[in-house]
Structures are given as C-alpha cells and as structure tokens.
C-alpha cells in the first residue's frame, strides 16, 4: 500500500515528477506528510521535458486522463488490485456526472478519486465546490497535477485521506457523492476496516457482512457522511445485487441512502479496461425512503447514457427479494409446449468430498482400496467443457474413493487394504474436517447415481450441458440433471440441446470477475420442451 514506509518504483516517481511539473503542488490545498514524502523522493530524479509536460496538459484540457492511463501502465495489475484501482471509462463517467449536475448540487465529493477523472469532468462543467478523496498519495498527487493543467481550479480540495473515516465540513447546499469506489475483496481487507464496517452498520441500522468488499463499505460511509437532500452516483461491481453480503447495500438503498435508480450492464459487458468484472451504476437520494426504484439493464456501455428510464420496481418487491437482478425479468409465460426444467427433472449439485487430496485419485493410482469402490467421476469442470456435448468414456477420468457406510459389507480379503487406507486418512486428519464430521460415516463420500445429464454451473460462459453416456459420477464442480420419469437416449439428447439453446447468462447470478453461477433451483427454471415434445418422433 502506498504509504510513508513504501519504496516507490521509478515509474511511479516519474509520474509524480510529471504531476509536480504540471504545478500540482500549488493546487488542491495543503499536502499530507505522505504526499510531501513522495514529492521529496520524486524531486531527486530528472524532470520531465517541456514537451512532455505540455502534451500532458493539452490532453487533460481536451478531456483526457493521460496521468491515469500512465498510472495503469506504471503499476502491476496485482498492485492495482490490492488498492482496488480500476479506472472508469469516460462512457460511464460522463453520464454519471450528467445525472449529478442535473440535481443542482453545490458540492461534489469524489469518493476514491484515483487519478481524478470524475473531479476533472465536474470541474470542466460546473463551478461547484469539489472535494477529491483518496488514500493513495500518488493518486492524489496526480489529481493535483491534472487540476493544475486545467488552470488550478480554486474551488477544488484534494484530500489524501481514508474516505471511510472522512470528516466533511458542514455545507448548506446539496452535496453529491460520486465515484468508482475501490474494489477490494473482503479477504484482502484489514481487520480494522471490517471492525469499522461492523460499528458503522450498527450506527446506520443495516445488516453487516464480513464478506463485504471495500466498495460496499463506501456505500456505508456515504450514508454516514451524507445529509437529508444529498445525492449520489456510484459505479461498482454488480455482485451486491445478488449475493448474500449485498444485503448490506440493498438495505441501505431502501433505508438511508434512498435508492433512485439502478443501471446494470449485462454480464457480457466488461467495461473496465484490464479488469474482468461486471458493473452497475447506482443513483441515490440520501435520506429518502423510496416507494419504488427504477431498474434498467443495458446491453452495452455506449447505451448507458442518459441514466434514466427502466422498469419501476415497487418497494415491497425489493424488500422481499433476496436477489435484485431477477426483478428485471418479470415471469414471462412459458411458451406453449414448454415447461420449466424443474417440472420434468431434478437438479442436484454433486457431492462434496471434504478432502479431494484423499478421496480423488488418478485412474491409474496405486491404492489398496478395491477397484469396485473407485468410481470414475467428473471432478473438473473442464472435463465437461472438453467433452463436446457427450461424455463417451470414463477412461481418462479420475476416481473417487466411495466406501460403504457399513464396512461390514467389505469382503474379508478387502478389509486389510481398506483399513490401511483409512489409517492414512486418519493420520492426515481427514475425520476432523467439517464435511467428514457431518457425514453418517466419515469414510463414505456418498456419491449419487450417475446423472443422465451433467452441467457446469460456474464460469464466464453459459453452462455446458453434457449427455453422460459413459455413466460417470460427479462431485460438486457440476450439477446432475435427473429426469423425474425415465427418459431414453433420443429424448435426453433433445433435452440437452434444448438447454444449450435456451440458457442465457442472466438466468444465473453474476459475480465479480464476470463469473456466472447457476444454483440448482435457477437451472430448474430454464424453459424446455415438455416430455411429450421430447418423446415425439
């Protein structure tokens, strides 16, 4: 993390020198100690050429963000990921600024300003007071440099500070909160950030989840910073619309932040350069308790502007729904001759082994376990994707060791080998694992019978529906599709083809990184031909 203890790279120091040469130290208010130290380190190296300074200033004045583009180039993706730095394309920035400025705001807070894209766009078009906030001293120095290129706009203050703990001065007019809050996942957050979130959610009165990322914490902080009548517009990953931790954000938009509209970019769109993640633009009015919200799905980034229109979704539906994206899709009538998959089939996730290192072995493994307990199984989604719609052979599949719950079923000559295997599993601590402890017998995985159809359920592509001609078992990397009444080969082929044709990514739930996941019940809602149609000659 950029801080006083950090060693800056030559590329970062070169960027800092360019921001200083633009006049960045003279605008945006006083510098923090970390900004001063960075500027001091940068001063040691060679200054940029006059041509470079002039070209950079011209690009900023023309509406570009050359400093931000160079920041992306100067830092490894892992560095930017740790900071949650994902630059917002202007095709998203401009309609967000449009929406904010249409609200007659007199102050704008750029939450997690990065290189200053939102700040610059507001400054070019409005005389509103601007407060640009970011915890990265290089980012705030670049924002200062860009402001200097624009003429040193006096109404802008740049704060190298933590947005969560920001103390905003009082303001009589309408404040707008805008930005692309940093996307840092929960497992990368410091414990003190999560402690802040737990305390803040208690003050606001919204449920808190330790699985919430930093972008969700920014919504929470905004509820604390804002006052009745303020507004906001954030672009974030869209996963909070559908996942459990997102209840924190959804609850805030119903009480406290006052959700106005939600504009969802379809899962096929990945608008952030260098980051495979989905996006949603959320507009809100602080202090309101909305009776409804506008929800809209946008097929491409170019169609995002203006941030208006969509489907009106009533508050009671928003309150009752555990996922919000399906609210956009009113239950359309299933076509004549079609039914939901769940009417003719059950969908079951594969069994969890609890320790693949113990229970999953190569096909040619040398193991003391009798062959009849080594069940050929699909253990990797890639095996289904590569099967080209039909799994014809189990020869290359790994084996899952699935012993009977009652070891008295073992033949006398089988018992020594099985006992030797179980001794090694005990030595590895397998019986103490959560899954093993909660099985009827810790040594019995309990695989289901082979499913006639197998399906992947989590990928950046639609599920693969595969005819399981070979009769392989499967673990929890796949779903098994089991007809409620027996279906034979031709009907199963038709069913698999119908599923491939009907499935769309939006039928599942989208996570950050563009992953689309289908829970069994979601897969059961896919429309397919009725049994009668499947059996037609």
- 286 near 229, Cβ under 8 Å? yes
* pLDDT given at position 276: 43
- DSSP code for 89: P
As beta bridge partners, residue 134 has 160
Separation between Cα atoms, residue 114 and residue 372, nearest integer Å: 60
* pLDDT given at position 288: 92
Contacts of 374 (CB under 8 A, 6+ apart): 361, 365, 367, 399, 400, 401
Separation between Cα atoms, residue 450 and residue 430, nearest integer Å: 26
Burial class (CB in 10 A: 0-12, 13-18, 19+), 119: buried
pLDDT averaged per 10 residues in sequence order, the chain, 537 residues: 65 95 95 96 92 96 92 82 81 95 96 95 94 96 96 93 94 95 87 94 91 93 96 92 89 94 74 61 95 89 88 91 78 75 91 95 92 96 94 95 92 94 95 91 94 93 94 96 91 95 82 78 89 88
Separation between Cα atoms, residue 397 and residue 211, nearest integer Å: 35
Separation between Cα atoms, residue 152 and residue 363, nearest integer Å: 69
Separation between Cα atoms, residue 350 and residue 380, nearest integer Å: 11
The DSSP result for 464-476, as a single string, is PEEE-TT--EEBT
Could you tell me whether strands 156-160 and 129-134 are parallel, antiparallel, or unpaired per DSSP bridges?
Answer: parallel
Within a 13 Å sphere around the CA of 264, how many CA atoms are in the beta-carbon half?
25
- 238 near 280, Cβ under 8 Å? yes
- DSSP code for 177: E
Domain boundaries, the chain: 10-328, 338-404+444-534
Per CATH, which fold does 338-404+444-534 belong to? Adenine-n6-DNA-methyltransferase TaqI; Chain A, domain 2 (3.90.220)
* pLDDT given at position 512: 60
- How long is the chain? 537
CA dihedral 419, 422, 423, 425 (to 10 degrees): 170
- DSSP code for 351: B
Separation between Cα atoms, residue 370 and residue 401, nearest integer Å: 9
Contacts of 127 (CB under 8 A, 6+ apart): 155
Map tokens 């109404």 to a residue: 155
* pLDDT given at position 251: 95
Of the options 3.40.50.1980, 3.40.50.150, 1.25.40.10, 3.20.20.10, the CATH number for the domain spanning 10-328: 3.40.50.150
* pLDDT given at position 537: 73
Which among 370, 361, 363 is positioned nearest to 409, based on CA atoms?
370
pTM exceeding the 0.95 threshold for the entire prediction: no
* pLDDT given at position 3: 44
């Amino acid at each position: 993390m950029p801080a006083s203890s950090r060693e800056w790279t030559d590329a970062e120091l070169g960027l800092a020198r360019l921001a200083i040469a633009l006049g960045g130290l003279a605008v945006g208010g006083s510098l923090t100690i970390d900004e001063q130290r960075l500027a001091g380190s940068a001063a040691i190296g060679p200054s940029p050429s006059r041509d470079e300074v002039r070209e950079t200033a011209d690009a900023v004045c023309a509406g570009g963000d050359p400093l931000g583009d160079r920041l992306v180039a100067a830092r490894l993706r892992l560095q930017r990921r740790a900071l949650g730095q994902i630059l917002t394309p202007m095709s998203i920035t401009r309609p967000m600024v449009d929406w904010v400025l249409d609200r007659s705001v007199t102050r704008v807070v750029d939450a997690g300003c990065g290189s200053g894209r939102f700040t610059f766009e507001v400054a070019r078009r409005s005389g509103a007071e601007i407060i640009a906030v970011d915890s990265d001293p290089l980012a705030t120095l670049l924002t200062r440099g860009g402001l200097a290129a624009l003429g040193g706009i006096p109404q802008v203050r740049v704060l190298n500070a933590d947005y969560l703990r920001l103390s905003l001065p009082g303001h009589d007019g309408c404040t707008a909160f805008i930005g692309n809050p940093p996307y840092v996942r929960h497992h990368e957050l410091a414990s003190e950030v999560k402690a802040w979130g737990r305390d803040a959610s208690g003050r606001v009165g919204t449920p808190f989840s330790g699985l919430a990322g930093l972008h969700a914490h920014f919504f929470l902080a905004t509820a604390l910073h804002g006052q009745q009548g303020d507004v906001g517009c954030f672009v974030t990953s869209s996963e909070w619309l559908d996942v459990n931790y997102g209840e924190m954000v959804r609850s805030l938009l119903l009480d406290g932040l006052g959700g106005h509209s939600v504009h969802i970019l379809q899962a096929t769109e990945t608008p952030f350069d260098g980051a495979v993640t989905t996006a949603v633009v959320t507009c809100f009015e602080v202090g309101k308790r909305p009776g409804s919200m506008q929800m809209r799905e946008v097929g491409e980034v170019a169609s995002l502007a203006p941030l208006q229109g969509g489907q009106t979704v009533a508050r009671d539906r928003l309150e009752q729904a555990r996922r919000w994206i399906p609210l956009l899709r009113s239950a359309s009538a299933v076509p004549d001759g079609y039914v939901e998959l769940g009417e003719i089939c059950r969908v079951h996730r594969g069994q969890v082994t609890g320790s693949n290192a113990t229970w999953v072995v190569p096909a040619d493994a040398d193991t003391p376990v009798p062959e009849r307990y080594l069940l050929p199984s699909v253990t990797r989604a890639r095996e289904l994707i590569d099967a080209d719609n039909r799994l014809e052979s189990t020869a290359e599949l790994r084996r899952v060791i699935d012993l009977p719950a009652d070891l008295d079923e073992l033949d006398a000559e089988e018992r020594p080998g099985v006992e030797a295997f179980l001794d090694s599993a005990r030595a590895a601590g397998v019986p103490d694992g959560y899954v093993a402890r909660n099985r009827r017998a810790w040594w019995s995985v309990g695989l289901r019978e082979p499913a006639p159809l197998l399906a992947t359920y989590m990928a950046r592509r639609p599920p693969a529906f595969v005819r399981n001609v070979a009769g392989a078992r499967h673990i929890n990397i796949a779903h098994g599709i089991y007809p409620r009444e027996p279906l034979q080969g031709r009907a199963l082929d038709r069913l698999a083809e119908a599923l491939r044709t009907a499935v769309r990514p939006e039928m599942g739930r989208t996570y950050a990184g563009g992953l689309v996941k289908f829970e069994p019940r979601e897969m059961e809602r896919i429309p397919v031909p009725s049994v009668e149609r499947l059996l037609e000659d």
